[in-house]
Amino acid sequence: MPNEDKMECPANVVKRCKLAILDGVPLMDMMQKNWEQVKLFQALPNDLLVASYPKAGTTWLLETVDMILNDGDIEKCQRAPIYDRIPFLEEAGSASFPTGLEQIAKMTPPRIIKTHLPFHVVPKSFWEQGCKAIYIARNMKDNLVSYYHFHRMCREMPEPGTWEEFFMKFLNGEVVWGSWDEHVIGWWEERSSHRILYLFYEDMKEDPKREIIKVMQFLGKELPERIMDKIIHHTSFDVMKENPMTNHSTLPNCILDNSVSSFMRKGIVGDWKNHLTVAQNEVCDKQYSSKMADSTLQFRFIL
């Protein structure tokens, strides 16, 4: 049975981080301490990297991948909370939580590894070893809204300030993991040079089966229709919201304060309409058009 108990709250240890610029990328200041080791990480050829800008639907994709690789066996995917099943490469660890590198070292291959790193700072060994990677991207406006609410509830993230202040920080890339547009474009540009499957949150919402089939084909898995339907159900927002192994309720309130906002918050496309003012929407549209002008990458803001 997985441990559904909440982790102990490390008294006086959890405090909001500050930004530290590491190799040009704004990250959490605590990540400085093992940044060199992260960069030197030695991947194994059968490691699978799951990457995203934060709040793009990473947890959804991770649960989907774990279900696919475990042939739709729910029991196996209930073995531990998602953050214990799938280590977070650049996780700096704390008194009560191991670093991502420590977690990875204890895993039996084949390993699934999560990262939010922009492409250009991902450890080179992933590409030298020919590893597969799946990237999920989400439209800028919903990603911004979700990231704002996450900052409010996650007591390790920098102080978000007001919605207006956070809006400007996000647009200027002055948030952890940096600029949204550089992140999504950076991975997009590299998708054909490496074994990268590039997915969109909006596509997963529109037709989860179509996207699950893409993931299965990419991973060389074949599963019957019945199992695919089971995976779709198990990874639906409503089911994942109630599942302690995916909804992060096992983390203490001093880290994720569910009284402020839920980790599994709304899970929809278009919630930005409830947050952005007309003026903010225009600013977003302008920035999006100018940043995407030279790219073939396109997002859908509504379904």
- Determine the residue with CB nearest ligand A3P: 267
Q: Is 158 in the site for ligand A3P (CB under 6 A)?
A: no
- Cis peptide leading into residue 45 (ω within 30°): no
Identify which of residues 44 and 203 has a Cβ nearer to ligand A3P in the complex: 203
Identify which of residues 29 and 271 has a Cβ nearer to ligand A3P in the complex: 271
Closest CA to 114 of 65, 186, 157, 150: 65
Q: Is 271 in the site for ligand A3P (CB under 6 A)?
A: yes
- Hey, what amino acid is at 196? I
Cα–Cα dist 22/140, whole Å: 23
Active site residue 120: no
Closest CA to 150 of 81, 55, 259: 55
- The single residue among 34, 41, 59, 182 that binds ligand A3P, judged by CB under 6 A, is 59
Closest CA to 124 of 188, 177, 193: 193
- DSSP state, residue 6: P
Q: Is 243 in the site for ligand A3P (CB under 6 A)?
A: no
Cβ of residue 45: shortest distance to ligand A3P, in angstroms?
26
- DSSP SS3 for 49: strand
Site track 167-206 with ligand A3P (rule: CB under 6 A), x = hit: ----------------------------------------
Q: Is 123 in the site for ligand A3P (CB under 6 A)?
A: no
Q: Is 251 in the site for ligand A3P (CB under 6 A)?
A: no
Identify which of residues 221 and 275 has a Cβ nearer to ligand A3P in the complex: 275
Angle at 134 between CA 130 and CA 135, to 5 degrees: 125
Sole window of 15-23, 49-57, 85-93, 186-194 interacting with ligand A3P (rule: CB under 6 A): 49-57
State the angle between helix axes of 208-219 and 225-234 in degrees (0 to 180), rounded to the nearest 10. Answer: 110
Q: Is 244 in the site for ligand A3P (CB under 6 A)?
A: no
Cα–Cα dist 90/28, whole Å: 10
Q: Is 235 in the site for ligand A3P (CB under 6 A)?
A: yes
Cβ of residue 252: shortest distance to ligand A3P, in angstroms?
18
Cβ of residue 40: shortest distance to ligand A3P, in angstroms?
26
Q: Print the SS3 string covering 154-204.
A: ECCCCCCCCHHHHHHHHHCCCCCCCCHHHHHHHHHHHCCCCEEEEEEHHHH
- The single residue among 34, 58, 103, 249 that binds ligand A3P, judged by CB under 6 A, is 58
φ, ψ (nearest 5 deg) of residue 23: 50, 40
Q: Is 300 in the site for ligand A3P (CB under 6 A)?
A: no
Q: Is 257 in the site for ligand A3P (CB under 6 A)?
A: no
* CB within 8 Å of 94: residues ≥ 6 apart: 10, 13, 14, 30
Sole window of 1-9, 16-24, 173-181, 230-238 interacting with ligand A3P (rule: CB under 6 A): 230-238
Identify which of residues 54 and 118 has a Cβ nearer to ligand A3P in the complex: 54
Q: Is 247 in the site for ligand A3P (CB under 6 A)?
A: no
Cα–Cα dist 235/248, whole Å: 14
**Which residues would be at the binding site for ligand A3P (CB under 6 A)?**
52, 54-60, 142, 146, 149, 235-237, 240, 264-267, 271
Q: Which residues belong to the active site?
A: 116
